[in-house]
Amino acid sequence: MSFKSILSFLFIVIAVSLLVFYWFVPFETIEFIRAPNHANFSIMPDSKSESMQFYKNMRYPLSNISYKIYSCSLQKKEDMKRAFQILSNLTVLNFYPVNFNEEISVKCQSKNKIEEGMFIAGEGGPTNITATQNFNVILHGKVLLIKDVRCSRPNVALHELLHALGFDHSPNPNNIMYNISRCKQTIGDDIIELINKLYSYPSYPDLAFENISVIMRGRYADINVSIRNHGLAKSEKSEIIIMVDSKIVKKIKVEPLEIGYGRAIMLRNLFIPKISINNLTFIIDSSFEELNKENNQETLKIK
């Protein structure tokens, strides 16, 4: 082999080695940041829910809410059924009885209860709440009827039912949510309006990115990404698609997520087959209805 041929061979070997080194060996660190998300979806733009309820935007997953009445006197049982019927007539809510796994448990107590020198007529409220970005979702509530109150309308049962729906006490003595029960108290129009507003949103899931971070070293990327279901129903199967500019580099299957549940994913040394990168795009690909599809895409840019 001539000297010239040897030089040519060495040149080719060196060139190929440098190319391989450039493509496969980490030598530069690049960090990305999330671009602003301009989604305009908002559940409640005002503070009405926050001022009237224990927490903001409290509701059950569906407007059809199940209940079970346990051992109660005939009078208390009828009062509770009337309370369910009255609220059904005034709002979009519907209540139906079940034998187990009820969303609202109604129980009764025959022995009077006294606090600060006053008879306690009943107790109620949510017992299982899942907080999401959109709602404080009530998964279970309770009603306890204690003292018999003889009014033409079952005000005590209505008061405790509204507690189970997330409503706090009212400072208005004429409101049924006032902390001292009187027969002439009525359900305020603002309560009806808020219930109908909260339950006007369909019971869909809502998948959204919670955290995304990317560090690139050469042609390799370390990626942390997490998503969560902020909706009102369990999601179906979905996919996270990772794109470099307009090219798909990775698809990740995501199993169904219950309300409020999330999933964190870590990718290490993901090969990126592109020399110059403008941005990375993460997409939640779902084939089902969601409360908001605008939060299904996030774009990261170089710091």
pLDDT in tens, 167-198: 999 999 999 999 888 889 999 999 999 999 99
Residues 59 and 190 occupy one common structural domain = yes
> Furthest-apart CA pair in the chain: how many Å?
114
Is 235:205 a contact under the CB 8 Å cutoff? yes
Cα 69 to Cα 60: distance, rounded to the nearest angstrom: 18
Q: What percent of the chain has pLDDT over 70?
A: 79
Q: Where are the alpha helices (DSSP H) in the chain?
A: 3-24, 48-52, 74-90, 155-164, 189-198
In a domain, 13, yes or no: no
Angle, alpha carbons 39-41-46 (nearest 5°) = 125
Tell me the Ramachandran region of residue 195: left when phi exceeds 0, alpha when psi lies from -120 to 50, beta otherwise: alpha
Residues 191 and 117 occupy one common structural domain = yes
Residues 136 and 159 occupy one common structural domain = yes
Q: Which domain does 67 fall in, by range? A: 48-198
Res 198: pLDDT: 96
Question: Which residues of the chain are modeled with pLDDT < 70?
Answer: 1-49, 110-122, 302-303
In a domain, 7, yes or no: no
